[in-house]
Chains A and B, each alone.
Chain A
Amino acid sequence: MPEPFEPRTDPDVDLRVPADRRELTARPATILAAIAAGGVLGALARAGLQHAVPHPPTGFPWATFTINTSGCLLIGVLMAVLGHLDGGPPLARPFLGVGVLGGFTTFSTYAVDVQQAIVVGAPGTALAYLAATVLGALVAVGVGDAATTGLLRQATR
């Protein structure tokens, strides 16, 4: 009998969720391999987009901005779908959430791009990028979660 899916704060691993506590001890190699495989796919997609849309040191990092906001939209959608499915297939969250979306989105590039814009003397770009990414990401994750939850409720009514 499956346990009820509890509301979680952390999409990577939330030790207050019973299934997450057992996840790694039950089959560590499978879980870590799924996360690694997803991480590789996400990181390569990110690298491809950053390569396709490069930005000058003083310019707005559009590729990374788009990657981070779209990744946040998608994690909202994914977690709402998985919540609707009582957690979904066991490897879905580790592979898609922790791996693909975790590997796709990046906080380090965001922080360093802000810092580099300051270093090259473009504080306006740095501030705009800093604020736009935070606000865009939070709006995106909220919209992804709310819209998906609403649609799933309508569909099952």
Chain B
Amino acid sequence: MTVLLIALGAAVGAPLRYLTDRAVQSRHGSAFPWGTLLVNVAGSLLLGIVVGWPAGPAVSALLGTGFCGALTTYSTFSYETLRLTTGGHRLLALTNVLGSVTAGLAAATAGYALARALTG
């Protein structure tokens, strides 16, 4: 059952990352990977909520491991940073690393704190 829930969450999360990235890119022309930053921060916020909430194993598998895991990505984040660096955008690459890590951690912390506050 857990395997099916993880698969279901991932089957939605992975295409949603692609579609979000596409939608974000179509709205700006800069080389900065705003789309990846957005999915990574949003996924970290949601996973923070899932972990802070007294969520059962089914919800954790579906939303946490499956959906948030597939929505967010480390491979795309690192490849984009590499390309920014080799493309001469070193400042953007550094901003991407520091910004993603800081914003991701802040989102995870906010999500966790929010869930804890709501559930007492």
Contacts and interface: CB of A to CB of B under 8 A. Distances in A.
Query: DSSP majority for the B interface?
Result: helix
B62 to A, nearest CB: 11
A31 B108 CA distance: 31
Interface in A47-89: 47, 50, 68, 71-72, 74-76, 79
Nearest to A24: B22
Interface string B96-114: 0100110011011100100
Instruction: Give the interface size bracket for B toward A.
Output: 35 or more
B87 A9 contact: yes
A71 B43 CA distance: 18
Among B7, B46, B65, B73, max chain A CB count under 10 A is at B73
B72 A107 contact: yes
A9 B75 CA distance: 12
B90 interface: no
Interface string A22-39: 001000000110011111
B75 A108 contact: no
B6 A47 contact: yes
Contacts of A99: 14
A48 to B, nearest CB: 9
A112 B108 contact: yes
Interface string B1-24: 001001101111111011101100
A108 B10 contact: no
A105 B14 contact: no
A35 B74 contact: no
Given A106-B74, A107-B40, A130-B101, A13 B14 contact: no
Given A43-B69, A111-B104, A142 B10 contact: no
Interface residues of A, number: 60
Among A13, A76, A99, A101, max chain B CB count under 10 A is at A13
B33 A10 contact: yes
A103 B82 CA distance: 20
Interface in A94-121: 94, 97-99, 101-112, 114-116, 119
18 contacts: A9-B33, A10-B33, A11-B79, A12-B76, A13-B22, A36-B11, A38-B14, A43-B66, A47-B6, A74-B75, A97-B75, A105-B73, A106-B69, A106-B72, A108-B64, A108-B71, A108-B72, A145-B82
Interface of B: 3, 6-7, 9-15, 17-19, 21-22, 25-26, 31, 33, 35-36, 40, 43-44, 46-48, 51, 61, 64-66, 68-84, 87, 97, 100-101, 104-105, 107-109, 112
- 10 closest residue pairs by CB, A with B: A39-B14, A43-B10, A105-B74, A107-B72, A111-B104, A108-B43, A111-B44, A75-B75, A108-B47, A107-B40
